[in-house]
Amino acid sequence: MLSLETHNLSHRFSSGQRVLRDINLAVPQGAIYGFLGPNGAGKTTTLRLILGLLKRQEGSITIFGKAFDKSRIDILRRVGSLIESPSVYGHLSAKENLAIFQKVYQCPPANIPHVLDLVGLGDTGRKKASQFSLGMKQRLSIALALLPAPELLILDEPTNGLDPNGIIEMRELLKTLNREHGTTILVSSHLLAEIDKLVTHLGIIHQGELIFQGTLDALKSKQQQTLHIVLEAGDPQAALRLLLDERMEALYTDGHIRLPAMTKTEIAAMNRKLVSAGIEVYAIRPVKNDLESIFIDLVNP
C-alpha cells in the first residue's frame, strides 16, 4: 500500500527549462523515505508539486490513494509539511504561531504544548519568533508540521540550521513518530550520512531524473556488490598481466589496479605472488563503498 505515488511527473520552468522528467515516486505506507539528490536536482520542485504549491504540468500525484487535484482538502488535512526555509510569523511567539494553525486544522489545543515539547521549544514563553535562532525557527516549523498529527509528513531539508545535537534529536524524533504512530515520512536531504541513519526507503534524484528507488537494504546490497580492492604496484602493467594470467578480474585505472572484493587470505596470497614475481607492492587497500560513494557513482556514471 502506497501513501504517496507520482506517475510521470514532469515540470518545466517558464523559461522552458525542464527541471523534472518522468518522476515516479512510490512511498510505501509506514516508510521513512529519503529523497536524496545534489543541490538543484529537483527535490524541492518535486515536493512543491506534491503539495500543490506549484501548478502541475504533466503527470499525476496520488496521496492516500486519491488524486491530489480532486481531493486537495481531504489530503492536506492528513499531511504535515515543511518546505525549505522556516516559515513562521516573526511578530508572534511560538505558541501563537501554532495557535494559528491549530484553528485551521481544528486539532485539540493540547497538541500545541505537546509538539513544542517534542521539538524542544516548550520554554520559549512570549519570546517572538523573529528573535529565534535559525535552528529554533526550523524546530518551530517542524512543530507546525507535526501539529495536526499527520499520517504523512513531508519534510524538505528538515535539519537545515540545526546543530549536531539538534540533528540527532530530530532523527530520533522522526524515528519515534514512525515507529510509535506509524507516520509515513518523506524527507529530502543532501546529508547522506543523515539519510543513511534514518530511512527505510530511498529515492535518488539527479538532474531531474529519479536514478534509484528502493529499500535501503537494496541499496546496501548494491554497495556490497561494488566493494573492491585497490592495488598500487611499482610496475602496474606487469602486475596487471600477472593477475589476468591468474584469471583475476583486474582492471587498470588511474595509475592503480582495481580488483573485486576478496578475503584477507586471498589478498595475502596475491601479495606473495606479486612479490615472488619481482613486482614491488606499495599498497593493497579495500575500498569500502559507503552511501556517499554509491551516490557519487550513481550521479556520475
**Burial readout 42-67 (b: 16 or more C-beta within 10 A, e: otherwise):** bbbbbbbbbbeebebeebebbbbeee
Instruction: Give the one residue of 2, 26, 54, 191 binding other proteins; rule: CB under 8 A.
Output: 54
Residue with cell 490513494: 65
In angstroms, the CA 177 to CA 208 distance is 30
Q: Which of 89, 133, 96 is nearest to 116 (CA)?
A: 96
Site for other proteins contains 74 (CB under 8 A)? yes
The interface region with other proteins, picked from 34-42, 50-58, 241-249, 270-278 by CB under 8 A, is: 50-58
Under rule CB under 8 A, residue 15 binds other proteins: no
- In the complex, the smallest distance separating the C-beta of residue 92 from other proteins, rounded to whole angstroms, is 7
Q: Is 76 in the site for other proteins (CB under 8 A)?
A: yes
Q: Which of residues 133-152 bind other proteins (CB under 8 A)?
A: 141, 144
- The answer to the question of residue 51 lying near other proteins (CB under 8 A) is yes
Secondary structure class of 69 (helix, strand, coil) = coil
Task: Among 8, 53, 67, 272, indicate the residue that binds other proteins (CB under 8 A).
Answer: 53
288 burial (CB, 10 Å; 0-12 / 13-18 / 19+) is exposed
**Cα(231)–Cα(125) distance, integer angstroms:** 61
Q: Is 100 in the site for other proteins (CB under 8 A)?
A: yes
Q: How far is the CB of 133 from other proteins (least distance, A)?
A: 16
Rounded to the nearest whole angstrom, what is the least distance from the CB of residue 75 to other proteins in the complex?
8
Binding window for other proteins (CB under 8 A); candidates: 22-30, 94-102, 200-208, 264-272? 94-102
Among 7, 12, 48, 114, which residue sits at the site for other proteins (rule: CB under 8 A)? 48
Quick check: 103 binds other proteins (CB under 8 A)? yes
Q: In what order do the strands lie in the sheet with 184-189?
A: 79-82, 152-156, 184-189, 32-36, 201-206, 209-215
Closest CA to 292 of 13, 85, 36: 36
Q: Select the residue interacting with other proteins from 15, 17, 39, 106 (CB under 8 A).
A: 106
Residues that bind other proteins (CB under 8 A): 14, 48, 51-55, 73-74, 76-77, 79, 81, 83-92, 96, 99-101, 103-106, 141, 144
